[in-house]
Structure 1
């Protein structure tokens, strides 16, 4: 008999060894550098060991605006209109259900269940409407990244064995809508699964795209005769930023408070408490290096629809002189455990080359958060 725990273990084995390992663990036993208990990506374990706690979210997030909210409302309503009553009840949930809104993970949805409905349980017409909704909410690049990350899941599925045959673009992904879509009142669109979390919160012309998780195993592969690199833009820009540092700057940027083997602010870290800023100050860098820092932020921000993305990137650019960059373990693009961080008054980005188990070498984990606007909230609690 295959128990649920055995199934979860098999599924995670197909994901990666590091997807079942602790987050960045520092000097004190059992704690990461932020002082949180360790034990799984983002601080959980797998299956029922990864728990999510509701925080008191508000809707006063520090968004610079520019959201295409009216168009998103139309697309969301078109998707909801395709659903029968029972399915709609699963998809369209209460906006005040903070625990459900904060339930996202880098694990497959078959291992860590999200609210909403699995893509596999939708008809083709319903899935088409769901993807059309995401296409309106995101930029072309942001939408294509969803498709590419799902292609990576399909690629894992073709490998078979070691749990990899349980992956797939329909099996691993869920969609949910929190609240009533409105041009004036807050609502949220959530789409995610293995190596993907899109959390889009709208409130009038304001929009938050964080927390956002993107990852890819493998880092590149061939699909339909073309090379696919789902997190290639983020990887190239982050490592170009790190490569620009002089030896002195690199020494100043090094994190020395522990061994970092995954992300610190991944799933379950919704208490609004970020680690103290560390690393080298961007204000001390050359103009060319500052451009590289902004270029490393841009691929994350630019997943959002264009007008809102431009306003958000301008906000982060205005805060560059109060921003730091840091690294741990290694800084090579293909080195295992290379860990890079951008930490500003608002922006928080982590990127790591983490171990793979189903494929050779490393694969990518990355999280983008906004300290002033996660879930459209100025402060989670």
Structure 2
């Protein structure tokens, strides 16, 4: 592993920059006049704040009609930060200028200090050596004033206090990373085993690097899992060797637009070498993408790489091999989240490297790096599913991209990515800003990958290997919300549904989404759970976090607009949240769903959020009737007003 640390870097936490616009529920004045009645005057100044790496809110209150806002960091304009409230995890000296037609006023300076706990971005990976050879274990972490302590078989190793450890002694190794910041929590790495082999073994790639997208300034990790002894690694970008990138993981700390390109790794030892297939790394500038113009430009770049047959308008809704479809409801809803063929252009090795890079960039620009990363994680889960369940119709290359209409900065069109356990829609220039329907599933929901590349599906906190959980943000938010609801007996009683669930209520079937426009959502108040108005402050915070776990998968501007609509006062007044028990008699949304002898006890655990627009379901589903049957996660997010952009 090698971390390419090319300049000072401060971890900004797990949250992307959030631009918090004031919605109807956040009005700072009682009047809605667009005309300035008086010059602006600030009544509440933004306050300095310290963050542990999570986003913090800066807020100003001002009087005067027709106000506009512009935030600055270190005297530089912050693009998109044009509301009275602004959430950020970026350190600096912040101020805001408030303007209207009669003048402007500058706020006091608020200093944001970011001192995060250590975060591990690349774990030490298991290795195998022959006698007298040494293995190199490395961890890549960010934080303030970091220190390291390595352990073998649970015992601290004297003088092993760096980010790397070279050793030839067999055992289980891990490292604890600490910070010198007062109150910072230390973090322990995963365990990595070193074995001493009796004979040399040729290299083989078990898990190749995966395509990914990141925002410039964030950390990008490219990693390979390989078998063999005494392995050496060399990473390449666009065919050129990357100096210093000589481990099983290449950590770009931070990533820059210069890192964009096709990456592959060569793994070698004395018995031979093997190269991975090149995969694209997309690096977007902060704030890039999300809008119609940027997405249309990326779509047209993709179209320019395709052959005629790959971009000829499809003759049928279920056509494959082409990316172009007419903008009709029949075409848009002819998708399925089951394994098998999906309409559109298959994202597999039939595409050239240039075509694949263009397709992955389009997905990143349209969905944002967070959405693109989510798609990549679900595809990774499907690769495990295809291998474990021997399902030839599944796999990471069984996903497709479709365009409905002609990509344009001004005219209506849409993009869709679909595959097993996945549907992502993005509509542009349509009557409603559209990001739904969205289907997200993780099958398996959690697994750990050993050094051999083998996936262990019954893993828990103590399992050796690199853990994976594609829907962890959604699962954790649901678990926290249900726990908060159940903290009050009266709220829990109102929220608990008596029904049993073995499938999502509003998800499409294998034939597509035929019920769209005729679907009947619950009405009234009976059988919908507990009203949002009955929740206390902590329950409301957990509710908001659960909604955001889905909505924040979208680009910041769209996500904020949707959150403003879903969380407006009048919307919340007609919003309900409900849950149902699992087969074990209580809701179980635990982090390691298939650990233990009876995972199916969690099956049927269900959460629903039901508002005037927002509809979110999360379900733990069973793969069989026996108590030992594995479970997986399924979810759907719909918008009762804006599905498919409200175009059809």
In the other structure, the counterpart of 1:115 is 343
**Structure 2: how far apart are the matches of 1:323 and 1:164?**
40
- Check whether the contact 2:413–2:430 (CA below 8 A) recurs between aligned residues: no
CA contact (8 A) 1:67 1:206 kept: no
The Cα shift of 1:192 comes to 1.1
| 1:169/1:281 CA distance change after superposition, 3 Å | same
Aligned alpha-carbon RMSD (Å):
2.1
Q: Larger % of helix: which?
A: 1
Distance 1:204 1:253, change over 3 A: closer
Q: Residue 148 of structure 1 aligns with which residue?
A: 377
Q: Which residue of 2 aligns with 1:324?
A: 576
- Report the counterpart of residue 102 of structure 1 in structure 2: 333
1:346 alignment counterpart: 613
Pairing 1:185–2:411 present: yes
Q: Tell me which residue corresponds to 1:17.
A: none
Residue 251 of structure 1 and its aligned partner are, at CA, apart by: 1.3
Q: CA deviation at 1:153?
A: 1.0
User: Is residue 2:440 matched to residue 1:219?
Assistant: no
The aligned residue for residue 91 of structure 1 is 323
Q: Deviations over 1:55-96 (max 9, x none)?
A: xxxxxxxxxxx951111111111111111111111211111x
Unpaired runs of 5+ residues, structure 1, are: 1-65
Q: Which residue number in structure 2 is paired with residue 174 of structure 1?
A: 400
Decide whether the 8 Å contact of 2:290 with 2:365 is kept in 1.
no
**Cα 1:82–1:101 shift into 2, 3 Å:** same
Cα deviation 1:122-156 (Å, max 9, x = unaligned): 22321221111010112322111111001101112
Tell me how far apart the structure 2 counterparts of residues 339 and 173 of structure 1 sit (CA, whole Å). 27
Q: Output the CA distance in 1 between the equivalents of 2:369 and 2:543.
A: 22
Question: Where does residue 27 of structure 1 map in the other structure?
Answer: none
Q: Distance in 2 between matches of 1:355 and 1:301?
A: 26
Aligned match of 1:230: 470
Aligned match of 1:252? 494
Instruction: Determine the structure 2 residue equivalent to 1:15.
Output: none
Matching residue of 1:305: 555
Give the Å deviation of 1:323. Answer: 0.7
Which residue in 2 is equivalent to 1:370? 639
Cα contact 2:424–2:439 (8 A) shared by 1: yes
Tell me the TM-score normalised to structure 1 length. 0.75
> Shift of residue 206 of structure 1?
5.5
User: Quick one: distance in 1 between partners of 2:642 and 2:519?
Assistant: 10
**Other-structure match for 2:425:** 199
Question: Is 2:357 the partner of 1:128?
Answer: yes
- Distance (whole Å) between structure 2 residues aligned to residue 275 and residue 125 of structure 1: 47
Structure 2 CA distance for partners of 1:204 and 1:106, relative to 1, 3 Å: closer
Residue 204 of structure 1 deviates from its aligned partner by 6.4
Cα distance in structure 2, aligned partners of 1:124 and 1:169: 16
Instruction: Indicate conservation of the 8 Å contact 1:67/1:207, yes or no.
Output: no
CA-CA distance at 1:356 after TM superposition: 2.7
- SS of match in other structure, 2:607: strand
Q: Which portions of structure 1, spanning 4 or more consecutive aligned residues, are displaced by more than 6 angstroms?
A: none
Q: CA–CA distance in 2 between the matches of 1:69 and 1:204?
A: 10
In structure 2, how many angstroms separate the alpha carbons of the residues matched to 1:205 and 1:79? 26
Deviation by residue 1:198-231 (Cα, 9 ceiling, x = unmatched): 1111116953110000000111123575322111
Hey, what's the Cα distance between the residues in 2 that align with 1:205 and 1:125? 34
Matched with 1:333 is 589
Bigger relative contact order, structure 1 or 2 (CA pairs below 8 A, ≥6 apart): 1
Secondary structure, aligned partner of 1:259: coil
**Partner Cα distance (2:346, 2:496) in 1:** 41
What is the CA deviation profile of residues 220-272 of structure 1, one whole-angstrom value per residue up to 9, with x for unaligned ones? Answer: 1235753221111111101211111122211111223x432111111123124
Which secondary structure state, in structure 2, belongs to the residue aligned with residue 322 of structure 1?
A: coil
What is the CA distance between 1:360 and its match in structure 2?
A: 5.3
